[in-house]
Amino acid sequence: MTDRTTPPPELAVRDVTVRFAGLTALDAVSFTVAPGSVHAVIGPNGAGKSTCFNVLSGLCRPASGTVRLGGTDLTRLAPHRIARLGVARTFQNIVTTEGTVADNLMLGRHALTRAGFAASALHLPRAVREQRAHRERAREIAELCGLGDLFDTPVAVLSYGDRKRVEFARALCLEPRVLLLDEPVAGMNGAERVRTAEVVRDVRERLGLSVVLVEHDMGLVMRLADEVTVLDFGRAIAHGTPEEVRRDPEVLRAYLGTDDTGEDAA
């Protein structure tokens, strides 16, 4: 289980550059996620947000630059190794399997399982005890995410918002120290957005983890984020608190489509 008595390590992104066939998707991007904070990465479509998340989770290797979690360099590690070091993520599109909520959440516990395949297949006592403990922890996380009453419900019959929260809960089942949320409220209605924002806030406070958030819902970003990094055409054009970023002239021009005076651009 995760040790919540100590804060999560700092996540430091330094001068990360990613190129695809001559196109620069990220251009020397740097930012720091303070321990226990919610750090939002925002920007228009094509700004490099998803590429940034793919670098943080190991799905994409940068041409240059580094990503460090505390004293550990994540830059060249495979995704499963990064996950075991405490970085979990969700995706823009829902990725769930057939079966119940419990089945999906138990997949998130797989990397933490110590019993081998043979011990599990033979139902040896230590494997049975471990499986029971993981299931109990998965149920706790389901309760935390508002899915407790749905724990044994097939995912296929759930609403869109509940299925998004199943993916969120499954990422938490990895016991991460840093949670990467890629558009967690995309496609939700107003009530689902409010509920998900409450869950993210509660999880951050109760589990003591850091959250990196990519989201187009600026109302949610402004309510949840402690710090914001703004990307535009692969460059970081602003950093600061939500209020500081909201007033930044370059953000107004590049992201909101306004001029320095705050009037609509022609």
Q: Write down the pLDDT at residue 258.
A: 53
Q: Write down the pLDDT at residue 109.
A: 85
218 or 230: which leads in pLDDT? 230
Residue 156 has pLDDT above 70, yes or no: yes
Q: Write down the pLDDT at residue 22.
A: 84
Lowest mean pLDDT among 2-6, 145-149, 198-202: 2-6
User: What value does the mean pLDDT take over residues 18-27?
Assistant: 93
Q: Across-strand partners of 19?
A: 24
* Burial category of 128 from C-beta neighbours within 10 Å (exposed 0-12, middle 13-18, buried 19 and up): middle
Share of residues in the chain with pLDDT > 70 (%): 87
Check: CB of residue 259 under 8 Å from CB of residue 253. yes
Q: Write down the pLDDT at residue 219.
A: 86
pLDDT tens per residue, range 181-220? 999 998 888 888 988 899 999 999 999 999 999 998 888 9
| Arch. (CATH architecture) of 7-86+176-266 | 3-Layer(aba) Sandwich (3.40)
User: What value does the mean pLDDT take over residues 239-254?
Assistant: 89
User: What value does the mean pLDDT take over residues 7-19?
Assistant: 96
Residue 1 has pLDDT above 60, yes or no: no
pLDDT tens per residue, range 86-141? 999 998 777 777 899 999 999 888 776 665 544 454 555 666 677 788 899 999 99
* Burial category of 112 from C-beta neighbours within 10 Å (exposed 0-12, middle 13-18, buried 19 and up): middle
Confidence of residue 266 (pLDDT cuts 50, 70, 90): very low
113, two tokens: 């399982």
Average pLDDT of the chain? 87
Confidence of residue 5 (pLDDT cuts 50, 70, 90): low
Q: Write down the pLDDT at residue 129.
A: 75
Check: CB of residue 174 under 8 Å from CB of residue 108. yes
Residue 51 has pLDDT above 90, yes or no: yes
Q: Write down the pLDDT at residue 175.
A: 92
Q: How far apart are CA 4 and CA 111, in angstroms?
A: 19
130 or 170: which leads in pLDDT? 170
Residue 262 has pLDDT above 70, yes or no: no
Check: CB of residue 89 under 8 Å from CB of residue 182. yes
- Backbone angles phi and psi of 32, in degrees to 5: -125, 130
Residue 260 has pLDDT above 70, yes or no: no
Domain residue ranges of the chain, discontinuous segments joined by + = 7-86+176-266, 99-175
Residue 63 has pLDDT above 60, yes or no: yes
